[in-house]
Amino acid sequence: MESESQIQQKCIQWFQYTYPELWRDGMLYHNANEGIRPGGQGRRIKREGLRKGVADLCLSVPRKGYGALYIEMKKPGGRISPAQEEWGANAIKHGNLWVVCYSFEEFEKVVTDYLSTD
């Protein structure tokens, strides 16, 4: 079974190839808010704006009435934390689309649908 990181890397590679201009312009990016920070680094990055529960990826392109698309990546069987659920609800409340993808195929469909002009 692929790890969450492996799935996300596959998604990024596909996006780079499929939407090179959006990639080049930096419109899809990873919010690196996971992991343990040694020493006082954790306190420092919280003061700099780190927020618990923020989605893994942001596609910062308005479409279909949404301001942006936020994607939380999980491996199959993975679970959303309460902080992630709360953050996602707040993202939606403020006019964004928030989705959870458990596979490359889900990511591909969500992004393709979001960026389509239909």
Q: What is the 3-state secondary structure (H, E, C) of the chain?
A: CCCHHHHHHHHHHHHHHHCHHHHHCCCEEECCCCCCCCCCHHHHHHHCCCCCCCCCEEECCCECCECCEEEEECCCCCCCCHHHHHHHHHHHHCCCEEEEECCHHHHHHHHHHHHCCC
Per-residue tens of pLDDT for the chain, all 118 residues: 889 999 999 999 999 999 999 999 999 999 876 655 566 666 666 666 566 788 999 999 999 999 999 999 999 999 999 999 999 999 999 999 999 999 999 999 999 999 997 6
Which residues does 109 contact at the CB level (< 8 Å), separation at least 6? Answer: none
- 31-38: long-range contacts at Cβ-Cβ below 8 A with a sequence spacing of 24 or more? 31/55, 31/56, 31/57, 31/58
What class, spelled out in words, does domain 4-115 have in CATH? Answer: alpha beta
For the chain, give every domain's residue range: 4-115
Written as one letter, the residue type at 92 is I
Cα–Cα distance, 62 to 68 (Å, whole number):
5
CA 53 from centre of chain: 11
